Amino acid sequence: MRPSRTEEIRCAPTGDFNLKDNIAKIVFLVILYYNVKTGSDVIKSDKGTTIVYTGGGTAGHIYPGLAVLFEMKERSGDSLRQVWIGSNQAMDRSLVENTGVEFFGIPAGKLRRYVSFRNFIDMFKFAAGIIRAFRILRRLKPAVVFSKGGYVTVPVVLAARLLGIPTVSHESDAEPGLATKINSRFSTRVLVSFPETARHFHQTARDRVEVSGNPIRSSLYGGNRQRGLKKAGPGKEPVLLVLGGSQGARQINNLIKDCLENLLGLCRVIHQHGSWDAPPERVPGYLPFDFIAEDLPDFLQAADLVVCRAGASTIWELAALGKPSILIPLGTGSSRGDQQTNARIFEKHGASIVLTGDVSAEQLMEEVNGLLNDPLRLETMGKAAGNLADKSGSEYISNILLKEINVYDRNSNY
């Protein structure tokens, strides 16, 4: 009986070891492992046309995509099958499935701009992700793929290109990430939130770039200030909302810990600190959360001022609600610098104050104190933020997806 491929590799004579041949066998087995591990979970549906959404790694790559998905559902009812392809990591799956959307996980190798041994390992995950995405898309036969960014989207967009499926990619940041830059080469259309973003794409992709605005979750508009204040509990009337992103922000957490006593003499503090750092001890006027989900619309309405990073999804949501902010963007040592670019644009328009570098608790306290004691300035900043917002992003993108679906349906009828 012929031995299995695994036995062939394990039993190969050491004297006849061919490095190139055996590396190819190892790559094959790793890809096979990841595809077996993820399983064949594509379930056929009686619904007609299918749209595939993809994005992940952080909530900022998921929530805007879900905003488009629910806009499409509102306009098309149940006539469309809408599914999400994301990373196998728990956060991607839970954020999507908690909204009742079908989710398919694929292996995802991170795209790093620096030398690391993990790049070698993730190369296999990346290859496995392409194969897995290819299999899912071939069975689903979607009319269009909508990519919201994050490294998990690259295998999906490449697989879509191989299958001839049109892809619409969206970038929220002022400077596009590496994944979106790669995807732009293979996308039918590339949508951006900032007009300044177009110049960062390769020349061959620029004629497919258009400004769409950023999709915003409609649920955020349903918040209520009084409900938010009640949930925040007793304390002083001004409310400071601190958001560290979906995974928290250690720098911001440490700043809040260092100046919490002084802050509580000035305002109530609602603090999303992430799951990595333990928050300060809970005291009256201080409300810590690992992650704020359902209560976020109410807390945003209750907030007089927001302290946060400058991820695109967060700042566009603040703009849509007209919220003044103090932005503490990630530095270039921890990111590609996109948050600093985002923050400077909001600062330039008078919507935010930006603190960079080694920010001290005294600096943050001074800015918070100055703003909360100057209601007129807060109001002016809030109006400036609102002027930046384009609340039609979800509608604009949905119109484009519906056009792709109409083309698909016409071709299917021939």
In the chain, domain spans: 50-216+392-412, 221-388
Other beta carbons within 10 angstroms of residue 151's beta carbon come to 23
pLDDT at 281: 82
Please report, for residues 195, 326, 397, the alpha-carbon distance to residue 175 in angstroms, rounded to integers and kept in the order given.
11, 20, 20
Q: Per CATH, the architecture of 221-388 is what?
A: 3-Layer(aba) Sandwich (3.40)
Position 42 pLDDT exceeds 80: no
pLDDT at 59: 86
The residues facing 241 across adjacent strands are: 270, 306
Bigger pLDDT: 64 vs 236: 64
Q: Specify whether domain 50-216+392-412 bears CATH 2.40.50.140.
A: no
* pLDDT tier for residue 32 given thresholds of 50, 70 and 90: low
pLDDT at 362: 97
Position 276 pLDDT exceeds 60: yes
DSSP single-letter state for residue 351 = S
pLDDT at 307: 98
Bigger pLDDT: 376 vs 280: 376
The residues facing 189 across adjacent strands are: 168
* pLDDT tier for residue 7 given thresholds of 50, 70 and 90: very low
pLDDT (average), residues 255-270:
95
pLDDT at 248: 63
pLDDT at 245: 65
pTM of the model: 0.81
Please report, for residues 63, 295, 304, 321, 391, the alpha-carbon distance to residue 221 in angstroms, rounded to integers and kept in the order given.
14, 12, 16, 7, 11
DSSP single-letter state for residue 322 = T
**Amino acid at site 130:** I
The residues facing 307 across adjacent strands are: 242, 326
Position 370 pLDDT exceeds 50: yes
Distance CA 355, CA 39 (A): 46
87-91, 138-142, 289-293: range with lowest mean pLDDT? 87-91
H/E segment holding residue 325:
strand 325-327
pLDDT above 90 covers a percentage of the chain that reads 66
pLDDT (average), residues 212-219:
92
pLDDT at 387: 94
pLDDT at 13: 39
* Contact yes or no for 231/299 (Cβ under 8 A): yes
pLDDT at 44: 52
* pLDDT tier for residue 235 given thresholds of 50, 70 and 90: confident
Is it true that 50-216+392-412 and 221-388 share their CATH fold? Answer: yes
Position 3 pLDDT exceeds 80: no
38-47, 70-79, 169-178, 329-338: range with lowest mean pLDDT? 38-47
153-183 pLDDT tens trace: 999 999 999 999 999 999 999 999 889 999 9
